[in-house]
Structure 1
């Protein structure tokens, strides 16, 4: 599917908005953070933590612990509250830890947030998801695949597990197109070929397959999915197709809702990867820049922190 993105070594020149701070002095940052925590000075905490890359934040956290014998995230929890606390704690997580945290949250309590599960599983590579699975097991002492199976059922469960374990195998474009077309020929569409093909080819190949399938069937793939499938499996296929065709547009559509948990999760996890591309898609979709849209929905230091991650007006 999508190429691996290792946020820990992302550098400016990618489509990220957050870049390594050039004049980085972790000891100085730790001193400022210590003083800010004592004063509960959110302005200083936001200024420093949103202007450092994730790798630099990890250095700060380590240095903070060495100097104070305290965990920085625990200290932030004591000094802050609400949405700002949540956002800064997410910024302090390692990229794979954040994805594991978001998956856990999506399965917590009554009901499952299927869209967040799908967002992460459809936009991350197989290799990245294996790393997230390992972190999930270490953090929560539970097997991610078993957790996903317990939260889902039927063809949707098969799709979710296939996405978690996605690999890349080769297949001819025409052969894949014919297999998908044949799956639609009966009274009830078959889920199997859609799961097998859409979770086991690279994104370039799949884009060609979906374009050829549209020529073959005479309708857009999302229309085919809408008509021939139902329930959670239909939702899963719809998200997967969108993420194959244009993941930035899918993520921008999620951001348009301005739901706090989505804004945090997507902006933080994509800040060093492709948030510039998501910003551009957001502008095309909504007619407003993400920077301005944030201003209409959030306030105070929480807004300042979000806009710092967003970086600038489009």
Structure 2
């Protein structure tokens, strides 16, 4: 009798463990980055006509307002931009695709919170990269505020994180006076990074719900005792608009496998180097400075 009880207990525990492994959820996030700094700078440019400005605004909206899908289980997740059909000739060209990949899109972001690692595939200048590295250890500070998001009770947490050199969402153009002063004594060759104000770190505000007890969130955000439903990261807000628990169709939560394997530091250095080369090449062809403002503005 004792052996039978032990056997039944083992079967029940095995079944519970299996169900926990099979648990899966899907969340839709709307990401929006403020472009007011760049729009103000461009509006002061007399060479930009109203028609050009309208085109610039449309392209910037496309780059900085995106919808993402997060599929998650207890230990891992994949975060990917929602696929949309593009009309012929509406992809913005290679420069726009390049910039889009630097604003949070253009790949599948896989993170495993169990082994604290992430993998994201990136296409840059016609080459496929597979960035593999360790998740940033966000030191969250639990705040006392609460609010309801999508019917879920959420709690506030804040953390400070370093700003990536290849994530342009928190970059801004330098003040013209400051830029002119720096250029007065600079060498002829200028890096793209010299034309931007880049904060060293940014404070993140997150809202998470313990009602969905997974250590997950959009993109590289993680480490809270509940699913993160909203993130305010500098100029970017990522807000969850829909959650489905245990959907009928399960997603394959696996990392991408195609591309040259590289860590984040080496990838950042490769991107900056290639973008400077691209910038110098445009300058040599008789274009303007070939810098960031030109590529964003079209």
Normalised by the length of structure 1, the TM-score is 0.25
* Greater gyration radius: 2
Q: Which has the higher helix share?
A: 1
